[in-house]
Amino acid sequence: MRTFLGRLPRIQTALWLVIMALLSAAPATAQDLGGVTNMSRSPGHGTQVEYVAEGGKTYLWYPGNTNILKGQWKVEDGNMCFAYGANSYNPVTKQRGGWECQPVRAYQGGIAQQVSGDPMGLAGRRAVPFDLTGQSISLDQILASVINPGPPAIGGDFSCEGVIANAERSKSDMSIAAGTYFSGMFMGKRCVDVDYARAFALAEKSGTGVDGYLKVLRERAATGNPRAESALRRLGYELTAQ
Each residue's pLDDT expressed in tens, for the chain with a length of 242 residues: 233 344 434 433 333 343 333 333 334 455 568 888 898 887 677 888 999 998 899 999 988 888 899 999 999 888 999 988 777 766 666 667 788 888 988 888 888 888 888 888 888 888 888 888 877 777 777 777 776 544 433 334 557 888 888 888 877 678 778 888 888 877 667 788 989 999 899 988 877 778 878 888 888 888 888 988 999 999 999 888 77
- 49 Cβ contact partners less than 8 Å away, ≥ 6 residues apart: 37, 38, 39, 60, 61, 120, 122, 132, 139, 142
What angle do helix axes 196-206 and 226-235 make, rounded to 10 degrees?
Answer: 50
**What letter represents residue 163's amino acid?**
V
Task: Report the distance separating Cα 238 and Cα 219, nearest Å.
Answer: 12
